[in-house]
Structure 1
């Protein structure tokens, strides 16, 4: 049984494939993302931001997919902190959100996000965006 004081174990990078860290409080969406990405990428999923920086330190992902709205620190807050740390600032961040306003789009840019898709998203567009971000960075 895991208590709140225990730290989650993360897999070691043993294969020569890109790693993607996904953070979303929607279990169904995490399942969809894993199914879409697992053929080409190794993935690690988190339901909230509590262990986000520990996971980033342990896994050193090649890409992070962040939900904007979730309990605890939101995706914008996590991205802003991530991009302020030299060791992590080059990791590309893809935001997924139900928000669609111009202000929300500007928020993702101002916090250091590299791409932004609204939910529900087109699966082909998500895969294309992931590929583009991994090639670019």
Structure 2
């Protein structure tokens, strides 16, 4: 593991066991806030990505802090992400995000507060689709 060469603003946290079934590969989670606005520092090992999912009601904001990764909305091409990038994900948009195949990636995941907000986890991003990313 090349963790010592990966540097992020926030601590990596523990292995993301609670949500492991919704990820391909290993991720780590460090909850920075669970009061008012939920903010988690999510770190992805190379090749790790979460499943397609939808945030109902509130949506999500990603603040990229380290590495190189991707964000993709259903039916659109994937966008490459770098530190400093911000992704505003409206509610009801099917999407995924994760690391590039060759490097670590970290972002803050901000859950936009809303009455009745929930997250629906869907199918994994296929290896075939993921392998087409540069």
Output the TM-score relative to the length of structure 2.
0.32
Compare the two structures and name the one with the higher helix fraction.
1
Q: Indicate the structure whose relative CO is greater, using CA pairs within 8 Å and at least 6 residues apart.
A: 2
Compare the two structures and name the one with the higher strand fraction.
2
Output the TM-score relative to the length of structure 1.
0.32
